[in-house]
Chains A and B, each alone.
Chain A
Amino acid sequence: MFAKILIANRGEIAVRVLRACRTLGVEAVVAYSEADRESLAVQLADEAICIGPADAKRSYLSAPAVISAAIVSGCDAIHPGYGFLSEDEGFAEVVRAHGLTFIGPPPQVLERFASKEATRRLLGAEGLATIPGSNGMLRDDLHGLEEAERIGYPVLIKPSAGGGGKGMRMVRTPRELEAALKICRSEARAAFGDDSLYLEKWLEDNRHVEVQVAVDRFGHGVHLGERDCSVQRRHQKFLEEAPTPALDEAARNELAERAIRAVVAAGYENVGTLEFLVDPAGNAYFIEINCRIQVEHPVTEMLTGIDLVVTQIRIAAGEPLGFSQGDVTLRGHALEFRINAEDTAHDFRPSTGVVERYLAPGGPGVRMDSHLFTGYEVPPFYDSLLGKLVVWGPDRPTAIARSRAALDELVVDGIVTNIAIHQALLVNDTFLAGEMTTNLVDRIGSAAFLAAAAR
């Protein structure tokens, strides 16, 4: 096991990783930017080190700053959290070159899975059905138009790097495609420093279902079931749940087993998530793999009782998994609500300010992962996630009932939040029937969605 871990992230995930380090009895150092000097992670940490100014490019995204901080503070491993440097194989390689361990897949594994388009072919060869898409990256606009014609509109433009919906656009016509390619390219360049794009066939009414896996260095892997992330707004997930209401138990098991077989065969290592689109007939198409701990990982922790961050750290330290598929049991139903600093009344624009009052909800099956506290000032430089409310129940209706109570109890005064959209979902017939598709909120319109709930 590591002696000391540098946490190179911020917000709720820095707090989450810090808790995992404490659970393992490993010392942790929180690396922070000037804008996060007063953050909860810095306050809770035994040790914290300022790595740069608010601008993430010079702090959380600066490989030299992060690695230098790890070295001067005596750490032997770096936990990148999610976003920032978490899936940057170049960073992982430099971390290793400095004699440190990157907590995540080893650099050569990250490299193998770095290109989303190449990964689709790799896992396609290991027996996963993949969605029709472009052959390789788009060389230019003309190549994009030709490939879209071959695949058939509508198509989804996707960046090879990154995630979080940035640089993604669905287009229905060649004219839309031409315009959107430019936007996606600049968005991808700004967000990930890589503007290569590819195309995927757009499935109209699809569900987003993802399988959580954990594979140790010795090729021993388990799946930890799936999560449904179909509740999205502009390709951004904001509510996740497990098990997915889209598939029955047999279909869920089959999907998860196919996923774990494929990634073990392809040489994956550490925790990861395979994302699938599920069409109305229940066919699952592999779209991409996330080689990091995900925002929505607590949903799986609620069902399995397994600490995924601890598992991730232990695997990176070279320990065997220590349990097998038969030891994994999935109990009950869990929902996760992303609480964002977004103004639902004004097109979800990000909000900032000082938290005048913060009260986390409680009760059976209720977990709040957040970096908020009364008096905390939300800085304007980073993403809008304030925390995650995760609720478990023995069945979906109980989990939903507990969620309603918990959302009512949650107080975040002083900051405009998206709590209203969650409350609207929990009275929406389509959601209650378990029939959400990824395009539903956008098709109805967020405003109409909120208005319907208010009646």
Chain B
Amino acid sequence: MPDRAEADRLADHAQIDGLADELLPALIAKLGATGLAELEVREGDWKVRLRRSADGSTAASRAASARAARPAGGHLEHAHPVATEAAVDPYRAAATSPAVGIYQPRPEISSGSRVRAGDRIGSVDVLGIPQEVVSPVDGIVGAGLVESGDAVEYGQELAWIELISSTAERAGRDA
């Protein structure tokens, strides 16, 4: 969007930061406490949707699947990752297994694929029922940590997602 004013961009960034820092933690707590599958909140022209994966995992442990989205034209590449695991390493986050079973990566996703937080990158087969493996952050799929068809346990790290916000975009913004 070349015609966007610098001021607009800055205002957007400030709003997104505000949402990520203030609204998300409260929403995650709420989702965890209520047992609802999905929460959606509109604030200004931004919309935040939290979704609990089908296996019923709590939002607190799977905060990584929280995803902010703007109806049109918005970009959230630098939205703060809210997962605690992601916070440990500023450059990458691991997609973890939602269950004990057999891992199958999505064929169309490979190292170098660009993904957004909440995107399905594969599944873990539990007695024939696939459980979604989602990217915890916006980023680029990096090294796979397990092979297709491997047995994996709950919480096991399956693939790295390299954060794009932490490097190029942050540098760009700061310049």
Q: Which residues of A contact B (CB under 8 A)?
A: 34, 49-53, 55, 58-59, 64-65, 67-69, 71-73, 98
A70: nearest residue on chain B (CB-CB)? B100
Do B57 and A58 touch (CB < 8 A)? yes
Query: Can you list 7 A-B pairs, Cβ within 8 angstroms, ordered by A?
Result: A49-B100, A53-B61, A55-B58, A58-B55, A65-B99, A65-B100, A71-B127
Q: Closest CB-CB distance, A190 to chain B, in whole Å? A: 14
Main secondary structure of the interface of B (DSSP, over half): loop
Complex: how many Å from CA A58 to CA B58? 10
Do A50 and B56 touch (CB < 8 A)? no
Contacts of B77 on A, CB cut-off 8 Å?
none
Complex: how many Å from CA A167 to CA B152? 38
How many cross-chain pairs have Cβ atoms below 8 Å apart between A and B?
49
Complex: how many Å from CA A52 to CA B99? 6
Interface residues of B in 45-98 (CB under 8 A from A): 55-58, 61
Do A53 and B153 touch (CB < 8 A)? no
Do A51 and B154 touch (CB < 8 A)? yes
Do B154 and A72 touch (CB < 8 A)? no
Check if B151 is an interface residue, CB within 8 A of chain A.
yes
Do A50 and B127 touch (CB < 8 A)? no
Complex: how many Å from CA A71 to CA B55? 19
Do A73 and B151 touch (CB < 8 A)? yes
Contacts of B156 on A, CB cut-off 8 Å?
50
Q: With A50-B155, A51-B153 known to touch, is A68 a contact of B57 (CB < 8 Å)?
A: no
Do A52 and B100 touch (CB < 8 A)? yes
Do B61 and A68 touch (CB < 8 A)? no
Check if B1 is an interface residue, CB within 8 A of chain A.
no
Contacts of B101 on A, CB cut-off 8 Å?
68, 72
B55: nearest residue on chain A (CB-CB)? A58
Check if B129 is an interface residue, CB within 8 A of chain A.
yes
Do A68 and B126 touch (CB < 8 A)? yes
Complex: how many Å from CA A65 to CA B151? 13
Q: With A51-B154, A65-B154 known to touch, is A58 a contact of B56 (CB < 8 Å)?
A: yes
Q: Closest CB-CB distance, B24 to chain A, in whole Å? A: 21
Interface-centre pick from A34, A53, A67, A68 (highest chain B CB count, 10 A): A68
Do A67 and B154 touch (CB < 8 A)? no
Do A65 and B155 touch (CB < 8 A)? no
Q: With A34-B154, A51-B153 known to touch, is A69 a contact of B100 (CB < 8 Å)?
A: yes
Do B154 and A52 touch (CB < 8 A)? yes
Interface-centre pick from A51, A59, A98 (highest chain B CB count, 10 A): A51
Do A64 and B61 touch (CB < 8 A)? no
Do B57 and A53 touch (CB < 8 A)? yes
Contacts of A68 on B, CB cut-off 8 Å?
99-101, 126-127
Contacts of B61 on A, CB cut-off 8 Å?
53
Q: With A65-B99, A69-B100, A72-B100 known to touch, is A53 a contact of B154 (CB < 8 Å)?
A: yes
A53: nearest residue on chain B (CB-CB)? B61
Interface code B123-144, partner A: CB below 8 Å = 1, 0 otherwise?
0001101000000000000000
Closest 4 CB pairs of A and B: A72-B151, A50-B153, A50-B154, A69-B100
Interface-centre pick from A49, A64, A67, A73 (highest chain B CB count, 10 A): A64
Which one, A51, A58, A72, contacts B102 given CB within 8 A? A72
